[in-house]
Chain A
Amino acid sequence: MEMKRRIGFIERGTEFLKLKRDHLAKELTASIDILKGRRSKLLEELRIAYRAVTAAYISLGPTEVQSQTKSIKSRLELEILPRSVMGVRYPYIKVEKEPKVTGELDITLSEAAEKVMSVLDDILQLAENEARAERIADELGKTNRKVNALENMIIPRYRGIIKFIEDKLDEEALEELVRMKLIGGALAKRRV
């Protein structure tokens, strides 16, 4: 009875894990759809931004660039917060404050800064989605392994044990029945 109660519990757990697995697979597919082609597009945009930064350095010289950029008062401020899908935690990046750069910088630098700023949101989103996809994929793998272990190892083993116990009990019950019948027969003969 205890075994049957336990296997019922395991089977319900397995069903839950299957639901989790399906949901994670759906989430992973959604994340991959977002990521598709995004990295290459972002790399191209970054290349353009990097070219603008390079041009500003060559044009103004490294000291002037550093002197100007270090003097920006309002800097980029980010907060990394945890988020969760089916118990899988992933980082969520919140932009607290965007730097205000255009006013004080030389035009070559403000141009470069604008190009970097225009890809910043995409970089953050890509980083967030990549971390999300990675963690979901990791959890999906773990859940899948658990479901497989339960379906192919634990549950069959439990079923085997239950069957063995049931067979044993049936056998014992049959033996008992035969024994009772033999005793009954012997008692009837003695009465006659």
Chain B
Amino acid sequence: MIRSHALIADLLTAEQMHELADSGSVEAFTTRISETLYGTVTIDSDGDPSIAFEKEFYVKFIERMTKIVEVTPKKISTFLQAYYFLRFEVLNLKRILRGKFSGLPASQIEGYLIPMKPYQVSDYKLLVEAESFKNAVELLRGTPYESVEESLEFCERYDALWPMEQALNKFYAKAVQETIQTLPRKDRALVRNILKFEVNVENLLNAIKHRRMRAGEEAIPLEELFPVTFNVKLDQIKSLIEAEDLKEAIQELGQPYDEILSPIYQGDVALIRAQARRHIYAIVRKARSLNDFGFNVIMAYLVFSELEKDDLVGIAWGLTQGVTAEDMTKYLSAT
């Protein structure tokens, strides 16, 4: 825990993040990042440097997490592994199944994977090289993910992948909720708050998306579109989809969602995610201030680290594309 306190102090400050965004070029960014604890980041000259940076930042984050896992008590380390590795593995599975669904070559799918060892499946390569989408889903039998096979029928019915992605989301939410139970009772609230908030925001964003595309589409039962809900209930989601006045419907959701979703009025959906990340940052900071000697500090370090990783990935991409620092910093969680 003392180590986590020290490690939080090692994270990049908002000023450092803005300086990195203001680097002006990938070369300058590489130099500036090498002056931080990230050290020298080696990027292959072939291919897209932003993808290489993204992989590198994922590796660094996983290294940080592994170090924490090694020094934390068993209950906490089990939870942390389940929380983060499961999240990344679910993301990898989505990318693999997406690739299989649209018939992408195996090498291309492999290139999209987060560089990590398989957590609850035996081998990503087997899934990547599966003959078909259906075959890849069938290969999940015997793993904790086997329940997602039930959504195959919906994928076929709608000729779409979203039922599978929603099944994976549901699996993840359920698994995290179960793992939370392994934590000491006093430490559960923070993770539960983060999980609920993330699921609520994703459901609301999905509802806004669904609201736009519902004209001319086959009516899909809301329970299939939103398999997991927390304190933003299905009837509130339904109201958001069906409301004539979106602003009014959003305001009815109350705090913090009305404020977080407000960029939608200007059509800036990406800013909603940035606001959501800032809100998670605030939740964790508040929890840490309430209990500065325990699990909250460890969680704060990892949450801040992950937000830092996301910001660095965004900056690296922005710099390779010549995006101005002003346009980048607008979407960073570091303010």
Contact = CB atoms under 8 A, between A and B. Distances in A.
A111 B99 CA distance: 22
A111 B267 CA distance: 8
Contacts of A138: none
A54 B323 contact: yes
B178 interface: no
Contacts of A182: none
B314 A61 contact: yes
Interface stretch (B10-18, B201-209, B247-255): B201-209
B160 A58 contact: no
A61 B161 contact: no
Interface string A55-88: 1111111111011101111000000000000000
Contacts of A114: 212
Contacts of B317: 57-58, 61-62
- A: interface residue count bin: 20 to 34
Name B's interface SS. Answer: helix
Nearest to A55: B270
Contacts of B55: 63
Nearest to A68: B98
B182 interface: no
A187 to B, nearest CB: 104
A51 interface: yes
A51 B270 CA distance: 10
Contacts of B101: 71, 73
Contact of A102 (B48, B99, B108, B209): B209
Given A66-B112, A71-B98, A104 B161 contact: yes
B51 interface: yes
Contacts of B162: 103-104
Nearest to A110: B209
Contacts of A56: 270
Nearest to A54: B323
B226 interface: no
Interface string B101-141: 11010001000101000000000000000000000000000
A107 B160 contact: no
B153 interface: no
B218 to A, nearest CB: 11
A62 B51 contact: yes
A67 B112 contact: yes
A62 B50 contact: yes
B209 A55 contact: no
A108 interface: yes
Complex A-B, nearest 8 residue pairs according to Cβ-Cβ distance, in ascending order: A55-B270, A58-B314, A71-B102, A59-B270, A71-B98, A67-B112, A107-B209, A102-B213
Interface of A: 51-52, 54-64, 66-68, 70-73, 102-104, 107-108, 110-111, 114
